[in-house]
Amino acid sequence: KNSVNLLGIVHQSNGQASTLSRSWNRVYAGFLFEKNRFALYLKPWIRISEDESSDDNTDITDYLGHGEINFAYKRGDHVFSLMSRNNLESGFSKGAVEIGWSFPLFDYDYIKGYIQYFSGYGESLIDYDSYVNRLGVGILLTDIL
């Protein structure tokens, strides 16, 4: 079932100036498909071109691509997720993969624990062109499923 369709414009910036400045603008669409305990979210985007003299990162689409795919599976109160970005387009040389697991925390439905592993490019905007492996632990207030 196609449960959500989105269309939007997004400006992303790291808020820095001069040589540390990174920003880009995109038009995107989002499509969420759900079936039973599974969800698939497709998010293609097109970068809005800038004047080359003011563009902070002319090669950002080489690393972040033109979209991402998210997959989630719910088993009981646990949700397992996988995100892939720019892997096929770059021949697996400049993409990113993120794996997540949310699980019950306390006995409250809206607060979950979350563990996430990220590997690839684009983990942060300032270092979008640097390869990163990161493990994160936190609290989640909402989930895809």
Which candidate in 13, 93, 124, 130 is catalytic?
Answer: 13
C-beta of residue 112 within 8 angstroms of C-beta of residue 138: no
H-helix or E-strand spanning residue 135: strand 132-140
C-beta of residue 24 within 8 angstroms of C-beta of residue 12: yes
Rounded-to-5 percentages of helix, strand, coil across the chain: 5, 55, 40
Is position 66 annotated as part of the catalytic site? no
Which candidate in 11, 18, 53, 54 is catalytic?
Answer: 11
Residue 128 corresponds to which amino acid? Y
C-beta of residue 9 within 8 angstroms of C-beta of residue 20: no
Is position 13 annotated as part of the catalytic site? yes
Residues known to be catalytic: 11, 13
